[in-house]
Homo-oligomer: A and B are copies of this chain.
Amino acid sequence: MSDKQYEVIVVGAGSSGQSVALAAVKAGKSAALIEGRAFGGTCPLRGCDPKLVLHAAAEAMYRVERLLGKGFTGKPDFSWSDLMEWKRGFTEPVPESSRAKMRDNGIETYQDYATFIDSHTLDVGGTRLRGEIIVLATGMRPAPLDIPGNEYLLTSDEFLEMDDLPAEMVVVGGGYIGTETAHIAHALGCQVTMIITEDEPLDKFDHDLAALLRQADEDRGIQYQINSKATAVRKAGDRFEVDVEDTAGQTTTLRTDRVIHCAGRVPNTKRLQLDKVGIETDEKQRIKVDDGLRTNLDHVYALGDCAASGLPLTPVGTYAASVLNDNLFKGATRKVDYYPIPTVAFALPGMASVGMTAREAEASDRNLSVHYKVANDWFHARHRNAAVFAFKLIVDDDRDVLVGAHLLGPGATELINLLYLVIRQEIPTSEIKRMIFAYPTAASTITSMLRA
């Protein structure tokens, strides 16, 4: 016997889960929302939002730094603990305000982890909840790094909570989380060494642009150990030693104040005990779903970062939630369609990407042209003394439309949205070339990009 029954149970109170729970009660359904960690999820607590708070300060510092000797004669004084306090002003109110919002809307909230008892029933701290529909939106967390001394590692979550910025830091992992972490810390005064298994950072982005970013990083003093992995961490007084092994099997040892582990994330599905009820996951432990976000069980759905559907990005989760909500509560039969989605690394400078990659273009037998240029000498880059400005646009020449865009440099993280719109709406490039964008802005470089 269940203690409680709901028409809809949502597990995970991040943005996707909250959206589904709200849509359920709005449609007149009884709904429960269960969260083992703090209400709010990754984005406002441990992801996009706090990261951007730190990034805003790092970017201001970085801009000053780029103009040293060109107006600025010194860098501003800075306090990491002041920045952390400012950041906590954003994150700390979230759990209570999120949970209150849910309650105010008539959603019953549970602060504990959920475990399947049977396919319709979850145990939540000893209470049994039965749901006609169960929606899993448990998100992801940093993957453990299985090496000796892993207890000395801080995760990227913990980096965002650090009380002080050390003088030296090693960052393990060069994806967007590792790169952003390294760039924020370096801009704010920390010596950073990156350890990455690939030969360039940001391997989900364009390889040529990533190589330019690493070059710019190295020019300003960020150190890279490429084609390498951390194999052990040891405490050495107040500091740490990190063994780093390269692909040739060569091991070196780094000494540093702090080691931040940003290599990989895994879905938060272990405590659910999915296998007990036969919910299938993929090789990355993500919950398998169809294009209606339904798992292999008819009444169980999954979305957001824990689901094997779309990129693990907040707006993708929000979009998936809108599809699921329409289907579950408005009788729609929408399917998720992850038509090119812009992705961004808030590096310094920013990296951004949407649509077809250069590798896909090479492999394609379509009539495509690649407009690739390192445009450091363009006014857009020069006037702020940008470290690097480069782009790669992929145009389908037969159809006269943009199909891919990859940007590195000032304005990239914003301009990618405009190019996404151009790709998605299939606006002819001949039409784009006639546009009168405001000058001087990042968008005003597009015409020149298309000619490059």
Contact = CB atoms under 8 A, between A and B. Distances in A.
A208 interface: no
Given A71-B83, A82-B73, A437 B420 contact: yes
Interface residues of A, number: 69
Contact of A438 (B76, B343, B437): B343
Interface stretch (A3-11, A52-60, A133-141, A149-157): A52-60
A336 to B, nearest CB: 11
Q: Which of A341, A384, A427, A440 has the largest count of B CB atoms less than 10 A from its CB?
A: A440
A143 interface: no
A41 to B, nearest CB: 13
Interface stretch (A111-119, A288-296, A410-418): A410-418
Contacts of A427: 421, 425
B63 A60 contact: yes
A63 B71 contact: no
Contacts of A253: none
A315 B411 contact: no
B73 A79 contact: yes
Nearest to A411: B414
Contact of A315 (B60, B80, B438): B438
A436 B60 contact: no
Contacts of A424: 435
Interface stretch (A220-228, A393-401, A441-449): A441-449
B418 A435 contact: no
A73 to B, nearest CB: 4
A56 B60 contact: no
A88 B252 CA distance: 48
Contacts of A48: 439-440
Contact of A86 (B63, B70, B421): B70
A249 interface: no
Contacts of A53: 383
A331 interface: no
B439 A418 contact: no
Given A67-B60, A79-B73, A83-B71, A417 B440 contact: no
How many copies of this kind of chain does the complex include? 2
A201 B203 CA distance: 47
B420 A421 contact: no
B71 A436 contact: no
A329 interface: no
Contact of A421 (B69, B416, B422): B422
A86 B71 contact: yes
Nearest to A416: B438
Interface in A354-404: 379, 382-384
Contacts of A52: 379, 383, 440
Contacts of A61: 64
A384 B59 CA distance: 10
A31 to B, nearest CB: 23
A319 interface: yes
A96 to B, nearest CB: 17
A212 interface: no
A313 B438 CA distance: 9
Contacts of A315: 436-439, 444
Contacts of A70: 57, 82-83, 86
Nearest to A81: B71
A177 B74 CA distance: 29
Contacts of A64: 60-61, 64, 76
Nearest to A49: B379
A425 B56 CA distance: 33
A123 to B, nearest CB: 34
The 6 A-B pairs at the shortest CB distance, nearest first, are namely A71-B83, A417-B443, A60-B63, A70-B86, A57-B71, A74-B77
Given A74-B77, A315-B437, A343-B438, 8 more contacts: A72-B78, A72-B82, A315-B438, A342-B437, A413-B441, A416-B438, A424-B435, A425-B425
17 contacts: A43-B439, A52-B379, A56-B383, A56-B384, A57-B70, A59-B63, A60-B64, A61-B64, A64-B64, A73-B79, A74-B77, A341-B436, A342-B436, A344-B441, A417-B437, A418-B443, A421-B422
